[in-house]
Amino acid sequence: MPAIAAPSAAYVLRIRHRGGRAREVRIDRARVIVGREGADLVLDDDHVCREHAELVCKDGVIGIRDLGSLRGLWVEGKRVPRAILRPGRDVTLGRTRIELLDADAQHDAGVHDDAQTRFVLRPEAGPDPLAVRGGLSGPGRAAANAALPRPAAVRGVLDVRSSERSTPRAPVPSVRINGETPLPSRVERPRGDAPPPVAVPAPAPAMAPAMVLGSPIDTPRPAVPPAARAAVVVIVGADGARGRWLAEALAGLPVVTAHDAGSVIAHVQASPRAVVLYAGPLRDATAPQLLDRLSRIRGGDDLAIVAADTCVPELPSLYYRVPAGLGPVDLRRVVTGALNQRGAIAAATPMTETRAWTHRQVFDICAAVGLHADPQTAAAAIEQGIAQLLPCARASCMYYDADSGELWRGSGEEGGEGVAQVGLVGFVARTGAPLHVPQTGADPRFVARLDDPRGSGRESLLAVPVPGPRREIHAVLVAVREPTQGPFEPRACQTLSQLGIELGGVLHRVAKASEAQVALERVHQGNAAQLFRPEALQAVRERGEHGDVIRVTGTWTKVMYWSLCVMLVVLVAGLCIGEVSQYSTGPAVVRQHGRSDLAALTNGAVHSIEVAPGDPVRKGQILVRLSDTVERATYDATLQDFDTQLRARLRDPSDETAATQLTSLRRALEAARAGLEGRVVRAPHDGIVADVAVTPGQHIDSGDGVLAVIDRNAPGLELVVFLPGGDRPQLQPGMPLRLELGGFDYAYQDLQVGPISEGVIGAEEARRILGPQHADTLPLGGSVVMVRASLPATTFESDGERYPYHDGMGGTAEVRLRDETLIELLIPALKEF
């Protein structure tokens, strides 16, 4: 492949990280891959993919295009597939911003040399710009960070990550790949006293942008030199007959024998796939000492130890402990398994974010295809998945029969049927190799009716096989792009090849299911032939008519059955979901705040009523007078005697008898005055007269109600409720209370529970609290608890009309205590669960 020409100018970019760090980078190559470890331009950003974008320098312009990354390329808040870099225009990749600062056309001409084309950093004060933080690790990565020797025109290897935690890298020779511009190779940093490992060249791309016309697609594999692919089994401490027995048991495997620790370490360092078979002690080191030195050199994950001696301790790197008496065949299987596992770990490819997303899409397509047992619907699902996986104009799944060589369109659409003797699809089916043709009409193998019936010959075609478990070809996946879309990229070829490999097992199961269905149909036809004449069966096949099962039940039974099932489900759901509320109910009465019911202090007849209902009164004002003839006569006579005796006392102050009589008369006078005061009813406070309960001349007893006085400054009305005493533990202030007044059905008033009496009282005590006027208005029985609630207004609404509350209005109040489901109400034992 021809080398990519260097750009005509050098460009200086500013890399801004999220934390505020900034670097200036000089670009003098035509194409630059931007991403994380392994990319040409390395960014210290977790939101950037391994190969996120590509910088392209051409004709004095530098642009950037997205390489199918997960988070994409953003310019001015919009996600774009590609963009041109200009001064003052930021391009965002993940959390990193790139800005073009300057384009220098007078850069050193030596930079154009393919052997020295590199990225350079503009020198800055501070840490060494050549330092690179971290490195590759893990069993699937065989190289650590390294750098190239810096020629005169190269100032440093490009790495814009933070240099505060970086470490210097040792220079190693560069490696040229397929004649391309050389890239720095990465080698693993030696540990301890180990010699430097062999430099492994970077893997070649699976498909170059300028492919040979119609060349097959090879699965990408790392280009590993023979020294790195070598495997060795190091037998430790096996002498005499035991050593000869082990050599015979492992004949054919790369076996070496070591009798000292230095030889063991040298063999392990020389091969990345070394397996240590510890068969006996060494002359210069014990088993723990040797294993400790090996673990420091290679690490627990990169070392496999097979212990044939009991002195080997338990270690994470111990692959298997061979018991005494194990045969040579089983021993060989253990060692071979250790070698294979080391090779698989060494060849493992790191899972990047882009590869993980591609794997996820491929597996989703396989899962969707696996839901279909019919080959036709499975092929339709595959074609739909290819269209979502790759940007292409058309996609098809061509089934292939190796016995007859037939190829046909699996989804049943017209076109694309024939024999695998010609055509690009036939070539892939016969050879089992993927194929990419940038222009179908230019390939002599192209047959339009088989490869692309709707094509014009200028399209790009990609075809990959679908191999089964025994490498047999089940189908060929075909993707076609229009000329305006361009040829398929190497990544698209790899992705479709991976899809073909993963679909092999799925289509193998579909094929087996189809074969089993055909066999079962043949068996059923053979059984039917024993019951019916062949002529009758042939006549039925020619008519194409098939009978139905005899139905002996009416349609209504099926409807009734499903109706009953639905009703049963609804009933069970209603029992589990439906709730029933439990209420505490009792009588209630409306009372006026600040109301004072006045009663007579003595027996007697009403002499006069000094006020009328609604009159305002002052505190101490006489409201009702009782007949006081006797009391007033007694008071007048006592007052006259008191005055007479007082004059006598004043005439003769020394008369002790007069003084004693005067004291007795004073007490009698006070008693007569109190008796006279008991014959009147006075206002206890300022207010308004209400409910005059007596008439003049009426005889009343002590304690009988006379009238009521309402304090004008007192608040409005309140509700007094008497609920069953057994509900007192469940009652709390603030619970909702609903009132229904007598005579106003369904005119509910929603209130809240206020103060609650601490104790439970009897019915007689409740009547005493209500007073004589309301004691007989409420039906009380048993123990009750008194609950008060404030009425928010002085009126209520019923049937669209508003009515005022009045003192003494009765009704029924209820408080919701708890809710229970119907099934708990029917089966109380369920409350415990």
Sheet (strand 705-710) strand order: 595-599, 705-710, 687-690, 616-617
User: Of 113, 135, 132, nearest to 121 (Cα)?
Assistant: 132
The segment(s) of the chain belonging to CATH 2.60.200.20 are 10-167
d(CA 118, CA 40): 9
Tens-digit pLDDT profile for residues 754-767: 999 888 988 888 88
User: Of 427, 333, 424, 411, nearest to 379 (Cα)?
Assistant: 411
Give the confidence band of 733 by pLDDT, cuts at 50, 70, 90. Answer: very high
**DSSP-assigned letters across all residues of 24-80:** EEEE-SSEEEEESTTSSEE---TTS-TT-EEEEEETTEEEEEE-S-SS-EEETTEEE
Evaluate if residue 654 carries a pLDDT over 70.
Answer: yes
Give the confidence band of 833 by pLDDT, cuts at 50, 70, 90. Answer: confident
What mean pLDDT do residues 707-735 have? 86
**Size of the chain in residues:** 833
Evaluate if residue 170 carries a pLDDT over 50.
Answer: no
CATH number of 595-709: 2.40.50.100
Provide the token pair at 624: 């009702």
What mean pLDDT do residues 20-40 have? 86
Q: Which amino acid is at 367?
A: A
- CB of 96 closer than 8 Å to CB of 16: yes
> Whole-number mean pLDDT of the chain?
76
State what percent of residues in the chain have pLDDT above 70: 77
Give the confidence band of 712 by pLDDT, cuts at 50, 70, 90. Answer: confident
The segment(s) of the chain belonging to CATH 2.40.30 are 715-825
User: Of 184, 181, 744, 208, nearest to 488 (Cα)?
Assistant: 208
What mean pLDDT do residues 38-60 have? 86
Beta bridge mates, 616: 688
Highest mean pLDDT among 75-84, 360-369, 504-513 belongs to 360-369
Give the pLDDT confidence score for residue 22 in this predicted structure. 85
CA 175 to centroid of chain Cα atoms: 47
Give the confidence band of 187 by pLDDT, cuts at 50, 70, 90. Answer: very low
Residue range 715-825 forms a domain whose CATH class is mainly beta
Tens-digit pLDDT profile for residues 670-682: 888 888 888 888 8
Residue 510 has φ and ψ, to the nearest 5°, of -65, -40
Give the pLDDT confidence score for residue 514 in this predicted structure. 80
Beta bridge mates, 467: 473
Top-confidence residue, 428 or 245: 428
d(CA 408, CA 401): 9
d(CA 557, CA 571): 21
The segment(s) of the chain belonging to CATH 3.30.450.40 are 354-516
Distances, alpha carbon 803 to alpha carbons 289, 627, 800, in Å: 103, 41, 10
CB-based contacts of 417, cutoff 8 Å, min separation 6: 406, 407, 408, 409, 450
- CB of 197 closer than 8 Å to CB of 184: no
CATH number of 354-516: 3.30.450.40
Evaluate if residue 200 carries a pLDDT over 50.
Answer: no
CB-based contacts of 495, cutoff 8 Å, min separation 6: 358, 362, 389, 390
Residue range 10-167 forms a domain whose CATH class is mainly beta
238-252, 287-301, 323-337, 431-445: least confident range = 287-301
Evaluate if residue 37 carries a pLDDT over 70.
Answer: yes
CA 511 to centroid of chain Cα atoms: 38
Give the pLDDT confidence score for residue 656 in this predicted structure. 81
Distances, alpha carbon 267 to alpha carbons 292, 338, 431, 500, 822, in Å: 16, 16, 41, 41, 80
CB-based contacts of 714, cutoff 8 Å, min separation 6: 592, 593, 594, 595
Distances, alpha carbon 747 to alpha carbons 264, 797, 808, in Å: 100, 7, 18
The segment(s) of the chain belonging to CATH 3.40.50.2300 are 226-346
Give the confidence band of 753 by pLDDT, cuts at 50, 70, 90. Answer: very high
Highest mean pLDDT among 100-104, 619-623, 736-740 belongs to 736-740
Q: Is 734 helix (H, G, I), strand (E, B) or coil?
A: coil
Give the pLDDT confidence score for residue 156 in this predicted structure. 31
Top-confidence residue, 759 or 215: 759
**DSSP-assigned letters across all residues of 454-473:** T--S-SEEEEEEEE-TTS-E
Domain with residues 226-346, CATH architecture: 3-Layer(aba) Sandwich (3.40)
Evaluate if residue 44 carries a pLDDT over 50.
Answer: yes
Give the pLDDT confidence score for residue 131 in this predicted structure. 30
Pairing mode of beta strands 473-481, 795-798: unpaired
Give the confidence band of 279 by pLDDT, cuts at 50, 70, 90. Answer: confident
User: Of 432, 403, 430, 408, nearest to 418 (Cα)?
Assistant: 408
Give the confidence band of 217 by pLDDT, cuts at 50, 70, 90. Answer: very low
- CB of 377 closer than 8 Å to CB of 345: no
d(CA 190, CA 196): 6
Evaluate if residue 820 carries a pLDDT over 80.
Answer: yes
Provide the token pair at 211: 């492919």
Give the confidence band of 544 by pLDDT, cuts at 50, 70, 90. Answer: low
Tens-digit pLDDT profile for residues 413-426: 766 688 888 999 99
Evaluate if residue 206 carries a pLDDT over 90.
Answer: no
d(CA 406, CA 418): 6
User: Of 165, 210, 162, 156, nearest to 184 (Cα)?
Assistant: 156
Tens-digit pLDDT profile for residues 558-617: 899 999 999 999 999 999 898 888 899 999 998 887 787 788 888 888 888 888 888 888
- Residue that has been written with the tokens 């963009």 in this structure: 83
- Residue that has been written with the tokens 């002499």 in this structure: 607
Q: Is 401 helix (H, G, I), strand (E, B) or coil?
A: coil
Taking the model in full, what pTM does it have? 0.36
198-202, 352-356, 420-424: least confident range = 198-202
Q: Please tell me the chain's helix, strand, coil percentages from 3-state DSSP, rounded to the nearest 5.
A: 30, 25, 45
- Residue that has been written with the tokens 């609804």 in this structure: 570
CB-based contacts of 446, cutoff 8 Å, min separation 6: 423, 424, 437, 440, 452, 457, 461
Give the pLDDT confidence score for residue 205 in this predicted structure. 34
